[in-house]
Chain A
């Protein structure tokens, strides 16, 4: 490339959108919370054997205001749902949701009056990970799928709106 050579190959030129996407997916901080047994597989993914820090994601944020990714790990009961929505609303844009495990995807084995039949009834889910619970490899695969999705985004020209209050139904 002409401009790079004229600057003695000390500079790389790319599109701003690609750079923004790359920065987002390379430091995607998950929210540190779990709802049920799937959370243990998520914890196993964080610690050294599977080591989520390889993808710049080791900083699980206790505060939703500093988190980019909500991993809904486990059974969302109807009693818990208002708290989950409240946490989601406090997260900053752009924000992403992974539904981890059969319960978060569809209610799983709990087809009963007390359990939300899939968190996608209330949150815009980006990646679904089936399994009961999914192994850490499955969660890692889901996260890499999300990274690939983020790299496809038109982050400047057409930024995503996940405001569940403003989004058209």
Chain B
């Protein structure tokens, strides 16, 4: 057997890489969702000082390349703060923050899409701001946001491939390693691409199912 042949162990390697990619994707998405939504809630409550600060940070994160942010965190922060940052930590920080910024934008527009008259009705009946948020705004905002959120998550899954650049052994990095060993780029990258594709499709399918459930109340089901 030549060193450039594929071995069954390569499948195991690919699955490991996929695990790292999915693990990072899921954890950073979850953190991003939590941070992004709580930022949006801050804005719903019109918290002074905090709201403009959040908007400013979100703007910075949205309008610069993820790769640049990743380099800044991985190479820039350690020098500035004299700390050590592992590639995984850098990836976690960058991807979470980046997801948070986009989730924030989606959540804000979702909250603002809810008719003011319903919110007023709920307020008049004596519900507190929190109760209005929980029972009137959130369920409808979720139904509104789930489409854009699914699109965002599908995109974030692809974006995780950038972290291979700073040495995180994710699916793309494994692809790189296999490619260098086997010198069969077409096969390697097709397989890697397909793995991403299947995961993204699965994600989109889950999102669509969830959306249907959340929109159960709407009589209008599109054209």
A and B co-occur in one complex: no
